[in-house]
Structure 1
Protein backbone atom coordinates (compact mmCIF):
# COMPACT_ATOMS: atom_id res chain seq x y z
CA UNK A 1 0.00 0.00 0.00
CA UNK A 2 1.36 3.43 -0.91
CA UNK A 3 1.91 6.29 1.50
CA UNK A 4 -1.10 8.41 2.32
CA UNK A 5 -0.73 11.96 1.00
CA UNK A 6 -1.81 14.78 3.27
CA UNK A 7 -2.39 18.47 2.74
CA UNK A 8 -1.14 21.31 4.95
CA UNK A 9 -4.71 22.05 5.96
CA UNK A 10 -4.90 18.79 7.92
CA UNK A 11 -2.40 19.87 10.54
CA UNK A 12 0.18 22.37 11.60
CA UNK A 13 2.40 24.11 9.10
CA UNK A 14 6.05 23.15 8.98
CA UNK A 15 9.18 24.92 7.82
CA UNK A 16 8.72 23.03 4.52
CA UNK A 17 4.98 23.62 4.00
CA UNK A 18 4.20 27.11 5.37
CA UNK A 19 4.33 28.62 1.85
CA UNK A 20 1.57 26.27 0.67
CA UNK A 21 -1.50 27.22 2.72
CA UNK A 22 -4.68 25.17 2.44
CA UNK A 23 -7.53 26.55 0.35
CA UNK A 24 -9.11 28.27 3.34
CA UNK A 25 -5.77 29.52 4.70
CA UNK A 26 -3.73 28.89 7.82
CA UNK A 27 -4.91 29.75 11.31
CA UNK A 28 -2.63 31.26 13.92
CA UNK A 29 -2.62 28.04 15.93
CA UNK A 30 -1.32 26.19 12.85
CA UNK A 31 1.64 28.52 12.31
CA UNK A 32 2.55 30.15 15.64
CA UNK A 33 5.19 27.51 16.44
CA UNK A 34 7.17 28.05 13.23
CA UNK A 35 10.83 29.02 13.49
CA UNK A 36 11.38 30.94 10.27
CA UNK A 37 14.47 33.00 9.35
CA UNK A 38 12.41 36.19 9.01
CA UNK A 39 9.72 38.15 10.81
CA UNK A 40 6.20 37.61 9.52
CA UNK A 41 2.52 38.38 9.88
CA UNK A 42 -0.52 36.26 9.11
CA UNK A 43 -2.70 38.04 6.54
CA UNK A 44 -5.94 36.35 5.44
CA UNK A 45 -4.48 32.96 6.30
CA UNK A 46 -1.21 33.52 4.44
CA UNK A 47 2.22 34.08 5.98
CA UNK A 48 3.54 37.42 4.75
CA UNK A 49 7.20 38.35 5.22
CA UNK A 50 7.78 41.62 7.06
CA UNK A 51 10.43 43.63 5.25
CA UNK A 52 13.60 45.03 6.72
CA UNK A 53 13.31 48.58 8.04
CA UNK A 54 15.88 51.36 7.96
CA UNK A 55 17.49 52.95 10.98
CA UNK A 56 15.32 56.06 10.64
CA UNK A 57 12.13 53.99 10.86
CA UNK A 58 13.31 52.14 13.95
CA UNK A 59 14.54 55.32 15.62
CA UNK A 60 11.19 57.07 15.12
CA UNK A 61 9.26 53.98 16.27
CA UNK A 62 11.35 53.58 19.43
CA UNK A 63 11.21 57.24 20.39
CA UNK A 64 7.47 57.36 19.91
CA UNK A 65 7.24 54.29 22.11
CA UNK A 66 9.30 56.00 24.81
CA UNK A 67 7.25 59.21 24.59
CA UNK A 68 3.95 57.36 24.83
CA UNK A 69 5.22 55.24 27.70
CA UNK A 70 6.28 58.39 29.58
CA UNK A 71 2.79 59.90 29.37
CA UNK A 72 0.54 56.85 29.45
CA UNK A 73 -2.27 56.63 31.97
CA UNK A 74 -3.82 53.57 33.59
CA UNK A 75 -5.12 51.13 32.47
CA UNK A 76 -3.08 51.48 29.29
CA UNK A 77 0.13 49.75 28.28
CA UNK A 78 2.41 50.61 25.35
CA UNK A 79 4.44 48.13 23.33
CA UNK A 80 6.22 47.89 19.96
CA UNK A 81 6.13 45.09 17.38
CA UNK A 82 3.60 43.04 19.34
CA UNK A 83 1.33 40.50 17.68
CA UNK A 84 -2.31 41.64 17.52
CA UNK A 85 -5.04 39.04 17.11
CA UNK A 86 -7.60 40.48 14.69
CA UNK A 87 -9.02 37.01 14.06
CA UNK A 88 -7.55 33.52 13.79
CA UNK A 89 -6.30 34.19 10.24
CA UNK A 90 -5.05 37.75 10.72
CA UNK A 91 -2.31 38.57 13.21
CA UNK A 92 -0.58 41.87 12.55
CA UNK A 93 2.41 43.47 14.24
CA UNK A 94 1.94 47.26 14.28
CA UNK A 95 4.97 49.42 14.99
CA UNK A 96 3.46 50.63 18.29
CA UNK A 97 0.18 49.93 20.06
CA UNK A 98 -1.58 51.32 23.11
CA UNK A 99 -3.96 48.85 24.72
CA UNK A 100 -6.14 48.30 27.77
CA UNK A 101 -4.25 45.84 29.97
CA UNK A 102 -7.12 44.90 32.26
CA UNK A 103 -8.01 41.18 32.46
CA UNK A 104 -5.00 40.14 30.34
CA UNK A 105 -2.63 37.44 31.57
CA UNK A 106 0.79 38.65 30.41
CA UNK A 107 2.47 35.36 31.35
CA UNK A 108 0.39 33.42 28.81
CA UNK A 109 -0.53 36.10 26.27
CA UNK A 110 0.69 35.48 22.70
CA UNK A 111 -1.21 38.22 20.87
CA UNK A 112 -3.06 41.28 22.13
CA UNK A 113 -6.81 40.93 21.31
CA UNK A 114 -7.72 43.64 18.82
CA UNK A 115 -10.70 44.70 20.93
CA UNK A 116 -8.24 45.79 23.63
CA UNK A 117 -6.46 48.29 21.37
CA UNK A 118 -6.90 52.02 21.89
CA UNK A 119 -4.29 53.25 19.40
CA UNK A 120 -2.28 51.83 16.50
CA UNK A 121 0.84 53.68 15.30
CA UNK A 122 2.45 52.85 11.96
CA UNK A 123 5.69 54.44 10.74
CA UNK A 124 5.64 54.42 6.94
CA UNK A 125 8.57 52.85 5.10
CA UNK A 126 9.10 52.81 1.31
CA UNK A 127 7.88 49.20 1.23
CA UNK A 128 4.85 49.70 3.50
CA UNK A 129 3.09 52.73 2.01
CA UNK A 130 0.09 50.82 0.66
CA UNK A 131 -0.27 48.75 3.82
CA UNK A 132 0.04 51.67 6.25
CA UNK A 133 -2.14 54.06 4.24
CA UNK A 134 -4.86 51.70 3.03
CA UNK A 135 -4.95 48.08 4.21
CA UNK A 136 -4.12 48.51 7.88
CA UNK A 137 -6.39 51.52 8.51
CA UNK A 138 -9.26 49.57 6.92
CA UNK A 139 -8.43 46.48 8.98
CA UNK A 140 -8.24 48.28 12.32
CA UNK A 141 -11.26 50.47 11.60
CA UNK A 142 -13.29 47.35 10.81
CA UNK A 143 -12.18 46.10 14.24
CA UNK A 144 -13.31 49.39 15.87
CA UNK A 145 -9.87 50.47 17.13
CA UNK A 146 -10.54 54.07 18.30
CA UNK A 147 -7.40 55.82 17.03
CA UNK A 148 -4.79 55.37 14.30
CA UNK A 149 -1.60 57.37 13.70
CA UNK A 150 0.27 57.27 10.41
CA UNK A 151 3.81 58.64 10.77
CA UNK A 152 5.86 59.63 7.74
CA UNK A 153 8.11 62.23 6.18
CA UNK A 154 6.48 65.03 4.21
CA UNK A 155 7.87 66.10 0.86
CA UNK A 156 10.03 68.69 2.62
CA UNK A 157 11.56 65.98 4.82
CA UNK A 158 9.63 67.03 7.92
CA UNK A 159 8.17 64.41 10.22
CA UNK A 160 4.37 64.41 10.20
CA UNK A 161 1.91 62.43 12.29
CA UNK A 162 -1.50 61.98 10.68
CA UNK A 163 -4.04 61.43 13.45
CA UNK A 164 -7.26 59.55 12.69
CA UNK A 165 -10.36 58.89 14.76
CA UNK A 166 -12.85 56.06 14.35
CA UNK A 167 -16.32 56.79 12.99
CA UNK A 168 -18.75 54.20 14.31
CA UNK A 169 -21.38 54.97 11.65
CA UNK A 170 -19.11 54.38 8.66
CA UNK A 171 -16.72 51.91 10.36
CA UNK A 172 -13.82 53.95 8.99
CA UNK A 173 -11.31 56.57 10.13
CA UNK A 174 -11.56 60.29 9.60
CA UNK A 175 -8.89 62.98 10.21
CA UNK A 176 -8.86 64.27 13.78
CA UNK A 177 -11.05 67.40 13.74
CA UNK A 178 -8.74 69.79 15.61
CA UNK A 179 -5.29 68.74 14.38
CA UNK A 180 -5.41 66.14 11.60
CA UNK A 181 -1.69 66.47 10.88
CA UNK A 182 0.93 67.19 13.55
CA UNK A 183 4.27 68.78 12.72
CA UNK A 184 6.92 70.11 15.12
CA UNK A 185 4.79 69.07 18.10
CA UNK A 186 2.19 66.36 18.53
CA UNK A 187 -0.43 67.45 21.04
CA UNK A 188 -3.57 65.38 21.58
CA UNK A 189 -5.85 64.33 24.42
CA UNK A 190 -6.60 60.82 23.15
CA UNK A 191 -6.29 58.04 24.09
CA UNK A 192 -4.64 60.03 26.93
CA UNK A 193 -2.97 63.46 27.03
CA UNK A 194 0.20 63.39 24.91
CA UNK A 195 2.72 66.07 23.94
CA UNK A 196 5.68 64.96 21.81
CA UNK A 197 8.45 67.08 20.26
CA UNK A 198 8.51 65.67 16.73
CA UNK A 199 11.57 67.67 15.75
CA UNK A 200 13.58 65.69 18.30
CA UNK A 201 12.09 62.34 17.31
CA UNK A 202 12.46 62.68 13.56
CA UNK A 203 16.08 63.82 13.28
Structure 2
Protein backbone atom coordinates (compact mmCIF):
# COMPACT_ATOMS: atom_id res chain seq x y z
CA UNK A 1 0.00 0.00 0.00
CA UNK A 2 1.29 3.46 -0.86
CA UNK A 3 0.11 6.94 -0.17
CA UNK A 4 0.40 10.06 -2.32
CA UNK A 5 1.63 11.94 0.76
CA UNK A 6 4.98 13.54 -0.05
CA UNK A 7 5.80 15.14 3.31
CA UNK A 8 7.96 13.72 6.05
CA UNK A 9 7.34 10.20 7.28
CA UNK A 10 5.87 9.88 10.77
CA UNK A 11 5.60 7.08 13.29
CA UNK A 12 2.12 6.42 11.84
CA UNK A 13 2.92 6.63 8.12
CA UNK A 14 6.45 5.24 7.65
CA UNK A 15 5.09 1.86 6.50
CA UNK A 16 3.10 3.54 3.66
CA UNK A 17 5.72 5.13 1.40
CA UNK A 18 4.87 7.37 -1.55
CA UNK A 19 4.76 5.72 -4.97
CA UNK A 20 8.40 6.65 -5.60
CA UNK A 21 9.48 5.63 -2.12
CA UNK A 22 10.78 7.66 0.80
CA UNK A 23 13.85 9.86 0.57
CA UNK A 24 16.42 10.41 3.29
CA UNK A 25 15.13 13.90 4.06
CA UNK A 26 11.63 12.47 4.59
CA UNK A 27 12.70 9.79 7.07
CA UNK A 28 15.86 11.04 8.79
CA UNK A 29 14.05 12.46 11.82
CA UNK A 30 11.92 9.38 12.50
CA UNK A 31 11.97 8.07 16.04
CA UNK A 32 11.11 4.40 15.70
CA UNK A 33 11.49 1.67 18.34
CA UNK A 34 13.89 -0.28 16.12
CA UNK A 35 16.95 0.28 13.96
CA UNK A 36 16.38 0.52 10.23
CA UNK A 37 17.86 1.12 6.79
CA UNK A 38 16.36 2.68 3.68
CA UNK A 39 16.36 0.26 0.73
CA UNK A 40 14.99 1.56 -2.57
CA UNK A 41 12.81 4.03 -0.69
CA UNK A 42 11.42 1.43 1.74
CA UNK A 43 12.18 1.39 5.46
CA UNK A 44 13.62 -2.03 6.29
CA UNK A 45 13.87 -3.14 9.92
CA UNK A 46 17.32 -4.24 11.08
CA UNK A 47 17.09 -7.26 13.32
CA UNK A 48 18.35 -7.49 16.88
CA UNK A 49 21.95 -8.72 17.01
CA UNK A 50 23.37 -11.30 19.41
CA UNK A 51 26.26 -10.99 21.82
CA UNK A 52 28.77 -12.75 19.56
CA UNK A 53 27.91 -10.45 16.63
CA UNK A 54 28.51 -7.34 18.71
CA UNK A 55 31.69 -8.76 20.22
CA UNK A 56 33.16 -9.49 16.78
CA UNK A 57 32.04 -6.10 15.42
CA UNK A 58 33.61 -4.28 18.35
CA UNK A 59 36.85 -6.26 18.15
CA UNK A 60 37.20 -5.36 14.47
CA UNK A 61 36.34 -1.72 15.19
CA UNK A 62 38.90 -1.38 17.98
CA UNK A 63 41.68 -2.97 15.94
CA UNK A 64 40.96 -0.86 12.87
CA UNK A 65 40.78 2.31 14.97
CA UNK A 66 44.13 1.51 16.61
CA UNK A 67 45.81 0.81 13.26
CA UNK A 68 44.33 3.56 11.11
CA UNK A 69 46.43 6.35 9.67
CA UNK A 70 45.43 10.01 9.95
CA UNK A 71 43.94 9.87 6.48
CA UNK A 72 41.05 7.72 7.70
CA UNK A 73 38.24 7.57 10.23
CA UNK A 74 36.69 4.36 11.59
CA UNK A 75 33.18 4.16 12.98
CA UNK A 76 30.43 1.62 13.67
CA UNK A 77 26.71 1.73 12.86
CA UNK A 78 27.09 4.98 10.91
CA UNK A 79 24.59 5.63 8.14
CA UNK A 80 26.00 5.71 4.62
CA UNK A 81 24.24 7.63 1.87
CA UNK A 82 24.37 5.51 -1.26
CA UNK A 83 21.75 7.74 -2.85
CA UNK A 84 18.70 9.61 -1.62
CA UNK A 85 16.58 6.44 -1.52
CA UNK A 86 19.21 4.05 -0.16
CA UNK A 87 20.72 4.54 3.28
CA UNK A 88 22.80 1.68 4.65
CA UNK A 89 24.25 1.11 8.14
CA UNK A 90 27.23 -1.24 7.89
CA UNK A 91 28.64 -2.75 11.06
CA UNK A 92 31.95 -0.92 10.58
CA UNK A 93 33.22 1.51 7.97
CA UNK A 94 36.58 3.09 7.19
CA UNK A 95 36.25 6.35 5.30
CA UNK A 96 38.17 9.45 4.28
CA UNK A 97 36.83 12.52 6.13
CA UNK A 98 38.56 15.07 3.88
CA UNK A 99 36.18 17.95 3.07
CA UNK A 100 33.47 16.56 5.36
CA UNK A 101 32.19 18.59 8.30
CA UNK A 102 32.16 16.17 11.28
CA UNK A 103 29.83 18.30 13.41
CA UNK A 104 27.28 18.53 10.59
CA UNK A 105 27.69 15.02 9.15
CA UNK A 106 24.53 12.89 9.19
CA UNK A 107 25.48 10.18 6.70
CA UNK A 108 28.86 9.39 5.18
CA UNK A 109 28.72 9.70 1.36
CA UNK A 110 29.38 6.34 -0.26
CA UNK A 111 32.16 7.81 -2.39
CA UNK A 112 34.15 8.49 0.80
CA UNK A 113 34.19 4.83 1.89
CA UNK A 114 37.37 2.78 1.73
CA UNK A 115 36.27 -0.35 3.60
CA UNK A 116 32.91 -1.82 4.59
CA UNK A 117 32.78 -4.55 7.24
CA UNK A 118 29.67 -6.65 7.81
CA UNK A 119 29.24 -9.31 10.49
CA UNK A 120 26.74 -11.88 9.26
CA UNK A 121 23.74 -12.71 11.45
CA UNK A 122 21.08 -15.34 10.69
CA UNK A 123 18.72 -12.61 9.49
CA UNK A 124 21.29 -10.80 7.33
CA UNK A 125 22.92 -13.59 5.31
CA UNK A 126 21.42 -12.63 1.94
CA UNK A 127 22.10 -8.94 2.49
CA UNK A 128 25.68 -9.35 3.67
CA UNK A 129 26.66 -12.03 1.14
CA UNK A 130 24.85 -10.74 -1.97
CA UNK A 131 23.02 -7.40 -1.90
CA UNK A 132 25.48 -5.26 0.01
CA UNK A 133 28.63 -6.46 -1.77
CA UNK A 134 26.95 -5.75 -5.11
CA UNK A 135 25.78 -2.36 -3.88
CA UNK A 136 29.13 -1.20 -2.54
CA UNK A 137 31.10 -2.62 -5.46
CA UNK A 138 28.83 -0.78 -7.89
CA UNK A 139 29.75 2.42 -6.03
CA UNK A 140 33.48 1.66 -6.18
CA UNK A 141 34.17 1.01 -2.51
CA UNK A 142 37.67 -0.55 -2.67
CA UNK A 143 37.40 -3.19 0.08
CA UNK A 144 34.70 -5.34 1.67
CA UNK A 145 35.08 -7.72 4.63
CA UNK A 146 32.47 -10.27 5.65
CA UNK A 147 32.85 -11.83 9.08
CA UNK A 148 30.99 -15.05 9.85
CA UNK A 149 30.73 -17.56 12.67
CA UNK A 150 31.56 -21.01 11.34
CA UNK A 151 30.13 -24.37 12.34
CA UNK A 152 33.10 -24.79 14.66
CA UNK A 153 31.97 -21.60 16.45
CA UNK A 154 35.08 -19.77 15.27
CA UNK A 155 35.20 -16.48 13.42
CA UNK A 156 36.30 -16.27 9.80
CA UNK A 157 36.75 -13.00 7.92
CA UNK A 158 36.40 -13.06 4.13
CA UNK A 159 38.45 -10.27 2.54
CA UNK A 160 37.41 -8.89 -0.87
CA UNK A 161 38.99 -6.38 -3.23
CA UNK A 162 37.24 -4.38 -5.92
CA UNK A 163 37.69 -5.19 -9.59
CA UNK A 164 37.45 -1.68 -11.04
CA UNK A 165 36.64 -2.98 -14.53
CA UNK A 166 33.67 -5.18 -13.59
CA UNK A 167 32.64 -3.26 -10.44
CA UNK A 168 32.49 -6.50 -8.49
CA UNK A 169 34.49 -7.96 -5.62
CA UNK A 170 36.96 -10.82 -5.83
CA UNK A 171 38.66 -12.68 -2.95
CA UNK A 172 41.94 -11.10 -1.86
CA UNK A 173 44.58 -13.09 -3.77
CA UNK A 174 46.97 -14.05 -1.00
CA UNK A 175 44.51 -14.24 1.91
CA UNK A 176 40.86 -14.65 0.86
CA UNK A 177 39.73 -15.99 4.25
CA UNK A 178 41.29 -15.22 7.62
CA UNK A 179 41.12 -17.65 10.56
CA UNK A 180 42.56 -17.04 14.02
CA UNK A 181 44.41 -13.92 12.87
CA UNK A 182 43.63 -11.31 10.22
CA UNK A 183 46.75 -9.75 8.74
CA UNK A 184 46.45 -7.39 5.79
CA UNK A 185 48.14 -4.31 4.34
CA UNK A 186 44.99 -2.83 2.85
CA UNK A 187 43.51 -0.31 3.30
CA UNK A 188 46.34 0.07 5.86
CA UNK A 189 48.46 -2.42 7.79
CA UNK A 190 46.45 -4.11 10.52
CA UNK A 191 46.66 -7.31 12.54
CA UNK A 192 43.52 -8.57 14.32
CA UNK A 193 43.25 -11.52 16.69
CA UNK A 194 40.27 -13.62 15.59
CA UNK A 195 41.02 -16.56 17.89
CA UNK A 196 37.88 -16.33 19.94
CA UNK A 197 35.38 -19.17 20.33
CA UNK A 198 31.71 -18.88 21.13
CA UNK A 199 29.44 -21.50 22.61
CA UNK A 200 32.18 -23.96 23.54
Q: Show structure 1 runs of 5+ residues with no match.
A: 1-5
Residue 28 (structure 1) aligns with: 24
- Residues 1:173 and 2:160 aligned together: no
Q: Distance in 2 between matches of 1:63 and 1:120?
A: 15
Match of 2:88 in 1: 92
1:133 to 114, 129, 134: 129
Pick from 34, 54, 70 the counterpart of residue 58 of structure 1.
54
Runs of 4+ off more than 3 Å: none
Counterparts of 1:184-195 in structure 2, within 5 Å, are 184-195=180-191
Greater CA radius of gyration, 1 or 2?
1
Query: Are positions 1:158 and 2:129 aligned together?
Result: no
Once the two structures are TM-superposed, the CA of residue 197 in structure 1 deviates from its matched residue by: 1.0
Q: Does 1:110 align with 2:91?
A: no
- Structure 2 Cα separation of the partners of residues 133 and 30 of structure 1: 29
What is the CA distance between 1:155 and its match in structure 2?
Answer: 2.5
2:140 pairs with one of 138, 144, 163 = 144
- In structure 1, the partner of 2:10 is 14
Aligned residues of 2:4 and 2:19 also touching (Cα < 8 A): no
Per-residue CA deviations over 1:134-182 (Å, capped at 9, x if unaligned) read 0000010011000000000222222100000000111100000010000
Following the alignment from structure 1 to structure 2, what is the Cα–Cα distance between the partners of residues 122 and 82?
Answer: 12
Q: Greater shift after overlay, 75-84 or 10-19?
A: 10-19
Distance 1:95 1:121 in 2: 6
User: 1:38-57 CA deviation, whole Å, 9 max, x = no partner?
Assistant: 11110000000110000110
For 1:163 and 1:63, the matched residues in 2 are separated by 16
- Whole-Å Cα distance in 2 between the matches of residues 36 and 154 of structure 1? 33
Q: Is there any run of 5+ residues in structure 2 with no aligned partner, and where?
A: none
SS in structure 2 opposite 1:137? helix
Normalised by the length of structure 2, the TM-score is 0.95
